[in-house]
Structure formats: C-alpha cells, structure tokens
Structure 1
Amino acid sequence: MKSGKLIINGDDKLLRNIKKENVTIIKCGIQKNNHLLIHDIQTSLNRTTFKVKYDNKDYKIIFNVPGSHLVNNVLLAIQVGLEYEVPIESIISSIENYKAGDKRMYVKTIRRNNVLIEDCYNSSYESLVGVLDLIKNKPLNKIIILGDILELGKYSNKIHRRVGHYLNSINNKTVLLVGEKMKAIKKNHLHFQNNKELIKHLKEVDLSNSIILVKGSRAMKLEEITEYLKKI
C-alpha cells in the first residue's frame, strides 16, 4: 500500500503501533486511544449488545449473534461503512438485521430442554475461547464437543494444549473430542477417532437440560453430529 487508509483492531498489541508513511491508520476497539470506541458489551445465548461511540454520541447496537469475540469484527465493518460515508443509522440497521449463516454460531433450542450451539463452519483458538466464555458461567450442564482446529502448522500442538488449559476453567462440563489434532488434550477427556464413534457414545449419554456446543474446523464435518442432535 503506497497511500490510503488502514483500519485495524487498535486493541491488538501486534497491530496498534503500526505506522506507514502516507497511510492513515484508523484504530477501532475498546481502549480509549482508538478512533472508534466500543463499550458496554453484554452477551446472552441469543445476542450481543454493545455501544459504539461515534461523533461524541453513543449508539446502542443489538447484534443477533452471541459472542463478545465477534464485536471487534463488527466494529471494523462499521468503520468501513463510515469511510464510504454510509450514515451510521443505516450501518446499525444492517447490523441488527444480520442473521448468522448455516453452522456459524447458530443457536437453537432442541428437544429435552437442550440448547444447541452449532459453530462448525470454521475454528480458531480465539473463536473457540470466545464461545466457551459465552457458556462457562451458565448454570446448565455443558456438553462440549470439539473437533480439530486446522491450518495451524507447527503451532498445532501448542494451541490445542492451550485449549486444554482453558477447558480446565469450566465447571459442570463433559468434553468430547474428535480428530487427530485433539489427541493433544485427550488425557482428561473422552476422545473419538471419528464422528460416527462420537455419535454412538452420545446415544448412551443423558442429553437433557444442557448446553451442547459443537465447534471445529469445516473439514471435520461436525454437522454430522449436529444433525443427529437435532433429531433426538
């Protein structure tokens, strides 16, 4: 980029000190030194609400997808719209009318008083922690079904072990793992070679009054598991 504008997550320590001649850096985030600020973030199993400070005014936004980890992405999208002189009210209306696509943070109440969270279109450490944060303090029993996080290269074992450490902070849970990469944390949890084996185990589990999270990379085809769960 020889000249222009670069919109970044100003809370990211790897990005916030970027400087480039003839390029205007526009920062978005929670921290006060950002150009576009977000605050008062609240999450539920159905939505995320927050406020954006723009032109010395607070705008409340209801984003009908759960998870505070998604907020920075929304904020960057807002700033892009503003750069193209889209009115802030029109931007907010579009965000509030957004509906998550298939397999992307799809939340549905299913039989036996269960809440199913289907997020198996893609996976990363950050998005996984974000959805775990969403459910960790809920009083219901948690059944956490995780498939491999792919495309991590030489960092794969390290990042999967970080997932294992984070899972230790969650109470009232059953963790079911599937995939070669998830073997890195199978010591304290149940691991299955494939989806078929995991589904067979689910038939023996009391699936009632629970939050059931299914999360993994697209290639793991975890929709095979969610389709089973929707039918029981």
Structure 2
Amino acid sequence: MLTSSLLKPITLKTRLVTEEMSFTAVSTDTRTITAGALFVPLIGERFNGHDYVLTAIQNGAVAALWEEGQPLPKELPSEFQLFMVKDTLYALQEMASAYRKKVNPKVIGITGSNGKTTTKDILASILSVKGETYKTQGNFNNHIGLPLTILGMPSTCEYLILEMGMSGFGEIERLSMIAEPDMALVTNIGESHMEQLGSRAGIAKAKMEIKEGLLAKGSLFVDSDEPLLRTWNDPCIVKVGFKEADLLIDHVTATETGYEFAIGNESYSLSMLGKHNVKNAAYCIAVAKNFGLSVEQIKKGLASLSLTSMRLERLTGNHGELIVNDAYNASPTSMIAAIEAIKMIPNYQKRVLVLGDMFELGSNEEALHKSVANVITEPITHIMTLGDRAKWIYEAILERKHESFQKVTHIETKQEAANHLKELVDNETVVLFKASRGMKLEEVITIYQDTKERGND
C-alpha cells in the first residue's frame, strides 16, 4: 500500500502535521477517485486539476499534492492533508519511482510502434504462471499513465509489465528512468508519429531511448528483421527475428487458429493470428527464460492467453463468418501485417478487407496509404475502403489493373459498408476490420450484425 513516507523526498511543507498516512489509490481524475485515495491535481494547457480538489474530497480523497503558488479554496476542510510540491507532475513521477523501488518487482518495459499491448498481454499470461503479475491497464503508457500504473500495482507484485508510448524525443527516456526496467523490448518500428519525429530513423532513435533506464545487468530485445534496429550494437541488446537473429524463430506454420513455431529445439503453439505476433511471442519467451521460467511454464502461459479487445480479435458473425476485429489502431506496418494474417488463414473462400484511414503519418501520408495496396493480392477477394485517406488505398488498387479481385469498393458511410457486408458474408468468409482509432471502424461490425438480425426477423 502507498504511504505518505514516499512523499518525504518531495515534500517541502505540509498543511497539517500528522502521523504517516496510507492511501488506497492515487488518481489524477476526480471521476476515478475512490475512498482513501491521494489526489494529484495536474495542470494542462486547458485545465487545472487544483480547481477540482473539493470534488475529489467529495468522492473520497483523503489527501492531495498541491503545487506551490496555487490558491487554496476557502472551503477546504481543515482535516484534509496537503503535500506542497514545486510541480505535481514531477512529484507524481518521483512517487512512482520510489514505490517501484519499495515493492521491487521484476520490471519489463515494452515500447514499439505496434504490438505493445499484444506483447504485454502475452507476457502477462506467461509470467503469471510463476508469480503475481501486474500490467499497464488500457492506454496508461505515457508520462502520466505510466506513473499511475506503477502506483496502482499491489505491494505483493512480483512482475510489473509497463507499456511505454511516446510522441516525441525524450519521452521514452524519461519513462525508462522512472521504471528502471530489468528487461525491455522494442517490438518494431513503424510510421506512427512521423509528423513529430520526421522519419522512421527518428522513430527508431526515440524508441531505443528505453535503454537509458535499463538496469545494469538487464537485456533489451529488439527486432532483428528491422534494418533500423539491426545496426544497434550493445552488450545488452538481444536480436529476435526470423533471420540473422541471436534468438532465431523458424519452422513457422500457419493454422486456422494461429501458428506453430520453433525456437532452437523447442516447439510452441500460439492461438493468435498474424505472423508478427509469433515474433511478439518470441520476445516474451526470451524474457520468461531470463526470469527462470521453464518451457512447460511458458507453454502453459501461452495456452491460457487472454488478449485486449480489437487486436486481431476473432469473432463469429451471425452467418458463421470469421470477423477479425483489428480496429483499435493502425499504421501502414500494422495494416500490412493484418492483411498478411488474413491471407494466411486456411479454409476460407472469401477474404474481405474493410480498411479505413490511418492518422499521424505526416506529409507522406498519401504514399504510405498507397503502399498498403502492394500486399493486397490473392487470396484476398473483396476490398472496401472507408474514409478520405483510405480512398488512396482504393485508388492504388485500381491502378494495378493486372489484379483481378471480385470487387473493390470505396464506401462513403459505415451504414453503406454494413449493407455491403450483409449481402456478402457466409460461413466461408473472413472479414478484417482495420483503421486508426479515430475511425471507430468497429462500429461497422455492430451495425451490420444488427442489420442482419433485423433482416432475419
């Protein structure tokens, strides 16, 4: 349990002189405050959390950090404890760092353009076989979310898995310094945040900042199949991939539910779509072995895998069709990987792609969208694009006149997409939904499933 003793290094003075306090939780959002929590009011461009301290108290907060110079509400209860600090965000981060040291779990940091959440889920499933494991919840992977994740782990935690996201240089380094990972992963390098970082090389440099907080005897696992990572050489770096790797993945065979593969003389099964997820699993196997898990324990963890929704999520439609919901987010790298996954699933006559816009690709976004068309080949049979940017994919497919799909359509609305799907799908169909989060492409699934149900009344 978090106690006020962790605040001593950052406390300049307190409103009250009291005995040590214990807190049930730490929150920056009054909507998630629980009884006995510590409230941390942050200051942003359009908000000031200090304005909501009375709401935090009403919802159960028993104490708060308070930034020097911020006015105190006249209605503040006299018994409510404040810890005065120079900067509440910095204080939150330092509290997390102190709590990480106090609990002292094995910490694994995960970054990369794509696959962070899936890799986190795989690793959590494996490590939980051996000990109590806590992982990043939702998208709490930035300069605020990561400290809150650390502060949210139980005091009995043995393995802490932290996603690390970023939009610019220096951010991953700061997160890594807070977390001090025993092991770290860079899953891949994509195109997200190209606007801020300028190039894929810039993205690779930013992601590799995770090395800065790595503990002295720690290991950093990276993608050996990515040229921008293959050139990094450091005693801590272990390269994982399908070729020229320190940890080589081979004998990869697609099944209807996932893959069989081998690492050295050990064979594994993964009930997940997408060959790229075999690599994500290999990272996790490498970490688990470094922590002393046996092959049997690793296989048990893989067999009990439970994934966060909308990441190549398999659903069964009303007509027996396989729906692959990968609509949580998208970049050209992840969209191409998802399309390749659909192509490799055996035993389906119709393979349908429903593709939407990808955001944050910078000035080269048209070419990057069009690059996706290069992998849309047989056995894909039907393509639907939805959105102004996704129309570039549609146009690029039409330019390749030698390709003969049954149908390529650009759709204007989600309802129109649902109507097309209603007429198309049967029990020999697999449908992929893929787009950036802002498109909310999963709504098409809801619409066309409901549409079919109404049509069957």
The TM-score range, normalised by the shorter chain, is: 0.7 to 0.9
Find 1:131's aligned residue among 313, 323, 338.
338
- Cα distance in 2 for partners of 1:172, 1:108 equals 19
Deviation of 1:172 (Å): 5.5
**Equivalent position SS for 2:229:** coil
Match of 1:177? Answer: 385
Conservation of the 8 A alpha-carbon contact between 2:270 and 2:303: yes
Counterpart amino acid of 2:375? Y
Taking a change above 3 Å as real, the CA distance of residues 19 and 124 of structure 1, as seen in their structure-2 partners, is same
- Range that drifts further, 157-166 or 188-197: 188-197
Match of 2:232 among 6, 9, 18: 18
- The structure having more radius of gyration, on CA atoms, is 2
Give the aligned partner of residue 27 of structure 1: 239
1:165 to 370, 374, 378: 374
User: What corresponds to 2:362 in structure 1?
Assistant: 153
Shift of 1:171: 4.4
The residue that corresponds to 1:5 in the other structure is 219
**AA paired with 1:145?**
V
Q: Which amino acid aligns with 1:178?
A: L
Query: 1:206 aligned to 2:451?
Result: no
Give 1:107's aligned amino acid: R
| Cα distance in structure 2, aligned partners of 1:81 and 1:135 | 29
- Structure 2: unaligned runs, 5 residues or longer: 1-211, 399-407, 453-457
The two structures have a TM-score, normalised by structure 2, of 0.45
Please, which of 266, 269, 288 is the counterpart of residue 62 of structure 1?
269
- Residue in 2 aligned with 1:107? 314
Counterparts of 2:257 and 2:333 in 1: how far apart (Å)? 20
TM-aligned CA distance change 1:30 to 1:207, over 3 Å: closer
Q: In the aligned structure 1, how far is the partner of 2:298 from the partner of 2:320? A: 36
Asked if 1:220 is matched to 2:439, the reply is: yes
Offset at residue 25 of structure 1 (A) = 1.8
Structure that is richer in strand per residue: 1
Relative to structure 1, the CA distance from residue 175 to residue 108 in structure 2 (aligned partners, 3 Å threshold; closer, same or farther) is: same
SS state of the match for residue 112, structure 1? coil
Give a deviation string over 1:22-76, Cα, whole Å, max 9, x none: x422111222x422221111123312221122xxxx2221111111121111111
Q: Distance in 2 between matches of 1:206 and 1:29?
A: 38
Preserved CA contact (<8 Å) 1:143 1:211: yes
- Mapped to 2, the partners of 1:171 and 1:72 lie a distance apart of 24
Could you tell me the percent identity over the aligned residues? Answer: 25
Residue identity matched to 2:222: I
Residues 37, 170 of structure 1: alpha-carbon distance in 2 compared, 3 angstrom cutoff: same
Q: Distance in 2 between matches of 1:193 and 1:111?
A: 24
SS in structure 1 at match of 2:284: helix
Deviations 1:205-226 (A, max 9, x none): 3322322221112221111111
- Out of 144, 162, 172, the residue aligned to residue 353 of structure 2 is 144
Distance in 1 (CA, whole Å) between partners of 2:333 and 2:442 is 21
If asked which structure has higher relative contact order (CA below 8 Å, sep 6+), I would say 1
Q: Judge conservation of contact 2:253–2:259 (CA < 8 Å) in 1.
A: yes
Note if 1:36 corresponds to 2:247: yes
Offset of residue 180 of structure 1:
2.0
| CA deviation vs aligned residue, 1:178-205 (integer Å, no higher than 9, x gap) | 11211212333322233233224444x3
RMSD, aligned CA: 2.3
How many aligned positions are there? Answer: 223
Contact 1:64 1:99 in 2 (8 A): no
Aligned runs of 1:47-58 on 2, under 5 Å? Answer: 47-53=258-264, 58=265
